[in-house]
Amino acid sequence: AQTVTQSQPEMSVQEAETVTLSCTYDTSESDYYLFWYKQPPSRQMILVIRQEAYKQQNATENRFSVNFQKAAKSFSLKISDSQLGDAAMYFCAYRSAYGSEKLVFGKGTKLTVNP
């Protein structure tokens, strides 16, 4: 079974600075998808970014980018120019490309942004 590990329960960053959240996963599959979801204090989960394993190029969405290292099974999220609104729980998630409906989530990292 696949597992997702987020080794940083909490992180903090100064406003306008850059922060990187770590995620590693364990799988024997060669094709899969990886996601970062954000859960702000409102508790509604929002997709931040997604990566397809067969694509070498790291995904980018505005200030959010990933460092996808397939061989190392690592999928870190970099937030540039951090804003107060970035404060949230961030969850890394894995989904198989082989007909699986299930998203496997990590336990999350709580990000605090200091003004």
Partner 1 sequence: DGGITQSPKYLFRKEGQNVTLSCEQNLNHDAMYWYRQDPGQGLRLIYYSQIVNDFQKGDIAEGYSVSREKKESFPLTVTSAQKNPTAFYLCASSTLPASGANVLTFGAGSRLTVL
What is the binding site for partner 1 (CB under 8 A)? 4, 9, 33, 35, 42-47, 50, 52, 91, 93, 95-108
Structure tokens at 43: 């508790």
Residue owning tokens 């699986």? 100
> In the complex, what is the shortest distance from the CB of residue 81 to partner 1, in angstroms, rounded to a whole number?
24
Q: How many CB atoms lie within 10 A of CB 23?
A: 27
Distance from C-alpha of 85 to C-alpha of 27, rounded to nearest angstrom: 33
Q: Which is nearer to partner 1, 35 or 68 (CB)?
A: 35
> In the complex, what is the shortest distance from the CB of residue 66 to partner 1, in angstroms, rounded to a whole number?
14
Q: How many angstroms from the chain centroid is the CA of residue 19? A: 12
In Å, what is the CA distance from 47 to each residue of 1, 73, 93?
24, 21, 10
Q: Which is nearer to partner 1, 11 or 45 (CB)?
A: 45
CB 21 within 8 A of CB 6: yes
> In the complex, what is the shortest distance from the CB of residue 19 to partner 1, in angstroms, rounded to a whole number?
20
Q: Which is nearer to partner 1, 82 or 109 (CB)?
A: 109
> In the complex, what is the shortest distance from the CB of residue 75 to partner 1, in angstroms, rounded to a whole number?
14
Q: Which is nearer to partner 1, 1 or 72 (CB)?
A: 1
